[in-house]
Amino acid sequence: MDAYRKDFPAINQSINDNKLVYLDSAASSQMPTSVIDEVARYQMNDHANVHRGIHTLSHRATMVYEKTRQDLSDFINAKNTNEIIFTSGTTESINLVAQSYCRPKLNKNKKILISHLEHHSNIVPWQIVCEQTQSSLEIAPINNKGEIITEDLISMIDESVVLISISHVSNALGSVSEVKKIIQAAHKNGVPVLVDGAQSIPHIKVDVEELNADFYVFSGHKMHAPTGTGILYGKEDLLEKMPPYKSGGDMILEVKFTGTTYNDLPYKFEAGTPNISGIAGLGAAVGYLRKIGMINIESHEKNLLDYMSSELKNVDGINLIGNADNKIGVQSFTLENIHSHDIGTILDHQGVAIRTGHHCAMPVMEFFGISGTARASLALYNNKEDIDCLVAGLHKVNEVFS
């Protein structure tokens, strides 16, 4: 996999006179040259508005935009492109489902079910919609390893649950949830499931048909594409029945002051001019990932995570947070008596970039009784040398604090 490292210009630079070691891909992953070039090519040649003009540039922009939709549909094995809605990211995708799918169905006798493991973006939209409808938000528990207790979550499912929303992979701990099992149990009770795939999509092969997920949401910037791009996958029959979330241009068939007819899927949910250049880049990112093969990426990262978790144990005072049996992409940890921001700053001084703090998952931190962790996260371009630099950096942190 080291051959792919050269494809990422941002990886090949120095920070504070040290070689950059980028271990923060769970926050934002770097882009390969093919993505950066595609964005530039689009901007230089095709920049126009989609679905509007009859001139050549508008046609080209539309082609680029719709090709990415087709690529994404193939990438996650959707039935067709009507099931792929472009959004600004995972957060907007979840808000869309909360307001468009759930809000009309919620009332004081209904519930939304999430887990204790979620990112704030999979908590707050539900708090808001539950407050708007006087419905309740139920939280399925996690265990000390940082895993959702699947049996407990399943036992909380009944006909009053309007939707279950869970992460496929935890952003703070890397725990992989048993989404297939949860979806099967939910469907037995007629309850649909939204899977937050922000942290799974760059690391493992996602097949929405095999999972039988009702909604699957993710962001472009965590899969080597530009920021401000995201996807809402939804089963066509569900999306068909949902009212528009935002309104404006492109989501209409006909506008009269006596009433407006909405456009068909997927455009019904894509009001306003979208992030076309970002989506051009997202298409190139999907092409790049498919060229390497998700199976190859998964096996490379699994070896690397095993190596990282075992090497980190050699650091004095370290406490690994999150020890799920099935884990990908990230390792969270604390160092005894050293705040995670101090770890982050001293590592940065050595060129090592990690994330520190609560990772937008404050309930997870509260569960472990800590204010935050240091989190090293992996992508396809990382190698063992990166891990060695992290470990050496942490020895230095201990030395500074000794």
Partner 1 sequence: MANLKSDKADITKLYKELVIKHASNPYNFGSLKSDAVRSTGINPLCGDKLEIYISTHNDTIKKIRFEGVGCAISIASASMLTEILKDTSISEAKKIAWSFISELSSNRELSENDFIKNNKELSILCAVKDFPTRIKCVNLSWQTFLSAFDDDIKITSTE
Supply the residues annotated as catalytic.
360
Is the preceding omega at residue 125 within 30 degrees of 0, hence cis? no
Nearest to partner 1 of 9, 248 (CB atom) = 9
Nearest to partner 1 of 298, 342 (CB atom) = 342
Residue 357 found at the interface with partner 1 (CB under 8 A): yes
Per DSSP, helices labelled H in 81-158 are: 90-96, 124-133, 150-155
Minimum CB separation from partner 1 for residue 55, in Å? 39
Residue 294 found at the interface with partner 1 (CB under 8 A): no
Residue 396 found at the interface with partner 1 (CB under 8 A): yes
Pair 373, 362: CB distance under 8 Å: no
Minimum CB separation from partner 1 for residue 337, in Å? 8
Minimum CB separation from partner 1 for residue 173, in Å? 17
Residue 2 DSSP class: G
Nearest to partner 1 of 353, 387 (CB atom) = 353
Per DSSP, helices labelled H in 76-168 are: 90-96, 124-133, 150-155
Query: Which of 253, 345, 384, 385: binder of partner 1 (CB under 8 A)?
Result: 345
Applying CB under 8 A, the span of 15-23, 165-173, 197-205, 376-384 interacting with partner 1 comes to 15-23
Residue 358 found at the interface with partner 1 (CB under 8 A): yes
Residues 301 to 340: which contact partner 1 by CB under 8 A? 338-340
User: Parallel, antiparallel, or unpaired: how do β-strands 330-335 and 373-377 relate?
Assistant: antiparallel
CA-based nearest residue to 199, from 78, 83, 301: 301
CA-based nearest residue to 394, from 305, 320, 302: 320
Nearest to partner 1 of 190, 369 (CB atom) = 369
Applying CB under 8 A, the span of 103-111, 186-194, 258-266, 365-373 interacting with partner 1 comes to 365-373
Residue 17 found at the interface with partner 1 (CB under 8 A): yes
Pair 331, 376: CB distance under 8 Å: yes
Minimum CB separation from partner 1 for residue 12, in Å? 5
CA distances from 318 to 108, 336, 389, 391 (A): 46, 6, 16, 11
Minimum CB separation from partner 1 for residue 281, in Å? 21
CA terminus-to-terminus distance, the chain: 38
Rg (CA), the chain: 22
- Buried b vs exposed e over 137-156: b needs ≥16 C-beta within 10 Å? bbbbebeeebbbebeebbee
Residue 5 found at the interface with partner 1 (CB under 8 A): no
Nearest to partner 1 of 234, 357 (CB atom) = 357
Residue 401 found at the interface with partner 1 (CB under 8 A): yes
Nearest to partner 1 of 20, 106 (CB atom) = 20
Applying CB under 8 A, the span of 64-72, 96-104, 181-189, 345-353 interacting with partner 1 comes to 345-353
- Buried b vs exposed e over 341-364: b needs ≥16 C-beta within 10 Å? eebbebbbbbbbbbbbbbbbbebb
Residue 57 found at the interface with partner 1 (CB under 8 A): no
Pair 99, 229: CB distance under 8 Å: no
Query: Which of 128, 318, 362, 392: binder of partner 1 (CB under 8 A)?
Result: 362
Q: Please give the structure tokens belonging to residue 249.
A: 């241009």
Minimum CB separation from partner 1 for residue 336, in Å? 13
- Buried b vs exposed e over 300-319: b needs ≥16 C-beta within 10 Å? bbbebbeebbebbeebeebe
Applying CB under 8 A, the span of 38-46, 186-194, 343-351, 377-385 interacting with partner 1 comes to 343-351
Minimum CB separation from partner 1 for residue 104, in Å? 33
Nearest to partner 1 of 112, 347 (CB atom) = 347
Residue 33 found at the interface with partner 1 (CB under 8 A): no
Nearest to partner 1 of 16, 247 (CB atom) = 16
- Residue holding tokens 């050595």? 350
Applying CB under 8 A, the span of 34-42, 214-222, 287-295, 358-366 interacting with partner 1 comes to 358-366
Q: Please give the structure tokens belonging to residue 351.
A: 């060129």
CA distances from 280 to 32, 37, 219, 343 (A): 13, 10, 14, 37
Minimum CB separation from partner 1 for residue 225, in Å? 22
Question: Which positions touch partner 1 (CB under 8 A)?
Answer: 9, 12-17, 338-342, 345-346, 349, 356-358, 362, 365, 371-372, 396, 400-401
